[in-house]
Structure 1
Amino acid sequence: MPQPPFLKPGEKVVLYDGVCKICNSWVNLLLRLKLSRRVRFAAVQSEEGKALLRFAGLPDENIRTIVLIDGDRHWIRAQAILRVMRLLPFPWGMLSLPGLLIPHFISDFFYNRIALNRYRLFGRYEKQHPVPSDFPGRFLHA
């Protein structure tokens, strides 16, 4: 199994929109809820994020989704969010269980509605938001 670039064996990575305010807030929430240290983060706008998108066979420009990469597998949209939530410690990981009962096309429909309007609804930063310094080693950057 090929190893994703920038990751050690057993690590996973969440790729998120670094200028999206709700996306950055979600990443910060995951960190504060003690998401496993085996999960790292990279903005899709970063060189690391683009390389990981290419590794997963996804376009590296204008991507409009969150991505979870685990080894040679990847998930996008609502399935990525649900899989990341399952990695949270108890009781937070249990929040993903109801989502597992919803068919992908339905959960992705709602995900896409929010994703397409995320800047209008929640705002955006002018440039990629700086990573929080209180979580060293969690973000991939040169």
Structure 2
Amino acid sequence: MNIENRPIVVFDGVCLLCNRWVDFLLRHDRVGRYRLAAMQGNHGRRLLLTHGLSADDPSSFLLVEDGLGFTDTEALTRVLAGLGRGWQIVAWMIRAVPRFVRDPTYRWVARHRYRLFGRRTHCRLPDPAYVERFLD
């Protein structure tokens, strides 16, 4: 897959929960399928605005794949499914929960992420081993 065509995950670079998600992706995305963009960077901010999300405090992370934007549990399950067979099963189990239950729950956690999980004072700097995966 061409680097320019790889899906992009836009995340909150100061949110501790979001940074744990990025660590998870870096650990499990062994083929480098996903590129990463902090919402505080130029690429991340532009992508959020393009897909109708607040660039100042989105209630969800954003997955941009094939030019389409996905949020909430749809984004989460698509990313998990893209990690391979074992994670496809986890994505399927999440999708088994009715969307009218899982999306509001996801958004509640997202809105309260700083209070529940904490935040950094500065945006995450990528580990040199993964610097090519990060935009900005």
Q: Compute the TM-score of the two structures, normalised by the length of structure 1.
A: 0.85
Worse-superposed segment, 80-89 or 91-100:
91-100
Counterpart for residue 138 of structure 1: 133
Residue ranges of structure 1 left out of the alignment (5+ in a row) = 1-6
- CA RMSD after TM alignment: 1.8
SS of equivalent residue, structure 2 residue 85: coil
Q: Larger helix proportion, structure 1 or 2?
A: 2
Counterpart for residue 81 of structure 1: 76
Deviations 1:77-130 (A, max 9, x none): 111111100011232332111112222221111101211221111110012121
- Using the TM superposition, give the Cα deviation of residue 36 of structure 1 relative to its aligned residue in structure 2, in angstroms: 4.0
Structure 1 runs (4+) deviating above 3 angstroms are none
Contact 1:36 1:87 in 2 (8 A): no
Residue ranges of structure 2 left out of the alignment (5+ in a row) = none
Counterpart for residue 11 of structure 1: 6
Contact 1:65 1:115 in 2 (8 A): yes
Partner Cα separation in structure 1 for residue 30 and residue 74 of structure 2: 17
Q: Compute the TM-score of the two structures, normalised by the length of structure 2.
A: 0.88
Q: How many residues align?
A: 135
Contact 1:18 1:128 in 2 (8 A): yes
Determine what percentage of the aligned residue pairs are the same residue. 32
SS of equivalent residue, structure 1 residue 74: strand
